[in-house]
Amino acid sequence: MAWLAVSLHATIRVQRNGFALDVDLEVGAGETVAVLGPNGSGKTTLLRALAGLIRIEGRVELDGEVLDDSAAGRHVLTEDRRVGLVFQDHVLFPHMTVLDNVAFGLRRDRIRIASEWLARAGLSDKAGAMPRELSGGQAQRVALLRTLATEPRLLLLDEPLSALDVTIRAEVRRELARQLSGFQGVRILVTHDPLEAIALADMLVVLEQGKIVQTGSPAEVTARPRSRFVADLAGVNLLRGRGRGRQVELDSGAMLTAAEAGEGDVFAVIHPRAVALYLARPEGTPRNVWRGRAEDLDLQGERVRVRLSGTVPLVAEVTPSAVRELQLDAGAEVWVAVKATEISVYRA
């Protein structure tokens, strides 16, 4: 593999009983990569490998410096890597004040520089507090400052917001976005939250069972999910089948008509909003019409998500007034229609 002029090149293999991580990653300077994936897919393992906390097979090169090279027997210790690591639940040193926590990673002028970071974040009044006296949001912000203050070349964030309250989370996310925009190195962010990923990342990497199953810009990934997990994240229906001209034959046997389908194994994506529900069989343009049964209804803000079973299991998103008009209830039988133009088909 030729090493391009980008900032992080990593080929990482970790073998554990019953689990193997096998990831190639290239990230440009100043880019933010969001790593997404189900529980146990190896996200934390990947960050720990990059931080040097676990020994790997493979090679990690950061800004031209080789941090790991199992072939050459090279392994730079975590403390010598200049990487920053932020954990899900802050992990502030419980026996030190906030100021000492922020100063911990600094070399000289420690107290002055740490105070400045706290001041910039508006946390000066907490400098003398112990971590247990902080709220969750404050603690996570301090943890972020503590890491940023060391000016790492590679910033690794392991679900930095997931332990926070929904209401604080937006605030801390804003602060994180601001802090990250001023940070020059490579950033890798593990998250469960698609909004967080889309808001903060230039590139998404989707891990499943230790392998990268999809990668690309947030728009690319959500537009063309390649797994159930990504489809759930993007909130769309993902179907799999074989393309035949403009038709897609689903694995269940049902046929789908799309604007364009191609040949061979394909994915088909249907946005829930594009799924229309009727009490009687609709006449007119929609090419795809089936019977279905509303399994359950889920109020989400100003929309209702209806899970449908039947020939093609789908989720539809309708307005509450539509629910009233259709007298939709769990168990109701409906007609389901999707316009051919609303179905996006691409190669599997």
Ligand X SMILES: Nc1ncnc2c1ncn2[C@@H]1O[C@H](COP(=O)(O)OP(=O)(O)OP(=O)(O)O)[C@@H](O)[C@H]1O
Contact set with Mg ion (CB under 5 A) = 44
Q: For the window 218-257, what string marks contact with a second copy as x by the rule CB under 8 A?
A: -----------x--xx-x----------------------
User: Contacting other proteins (CB under 8 A), which of 15, 19, 29, 55?
Assistant: 55
Q: Distance between terminal CA atoms of the chain?
A: 25
Amino acid at 302: E
Q: Is residue 84 a contact residue for other proteins (CB under 8 A)?
A: yes
Give me the least distance between CB of 18 and ligand X, in Å please: 7
* Cα–Cα distance, 304 to 320 (Å, whole number): 6
**Binding window for ligand X (CB under 6 A); candidates: 43-51, 76-84, 214-222, 328-336:** 43-51
CA distances from 98 to 94, 102, 132, 193, 242 (A): 9, 6, 10, 28, 58
CA atoms within 13 A on the CB side of 314: 33
Closer CB to ligand X, 50 or 337, in the complex: 50
Closer CB to a second copy, 263 or 329, in the complex: 329
CA distances from 49 to 42, 121, 145, 205, 331 (A): 10, 30, 22, 16, 49
Q: Is residue 185 a contact residue for ligand X (CB under 6 A)?
A: no
Contacts of a second copy in 2-61 (CB under 8 A): 38-40
Tokens at residue 327, please? 């007298």
Give me the least distance between CB of 85 and a second copy, in Å please: 22
# binding residues, a second copy (CB under 8 A): 30
* Cβ contacts of 138 within 8 Å, gap of 6 or more: 123, 126
Tokens at residue 218, please? 């947030």
Closer CB to a second copy, 200 or 277, in the complex: 200
Give me the least distance between CB of 91 and other proteins, in Å please: 5
CA distances from 178 to 144, 171, 182 (A): 12, 11, 7
Tokens at residue 330, please? 């769990």
User: Contacting a second copy (CB under 8 A), which of 16, 120, 125, 135?
Assistant: 135
Bridge partners for 314 per DSSP: 308
Q: Is residue 83 a contact residue for other proteins (CB under 8 A)?
A: yes
Give the binding site for a second copy (CB under 8 A). Answer: 38-40, 135-136, 165-168, 170, 173-174, 177-178, 192-195, 198-199, 229, 232-233, 235, 296, 298-301, 307
Give the binding site for ligand X (CB under 6 A). Answer: 16, 19, 37, 39-45
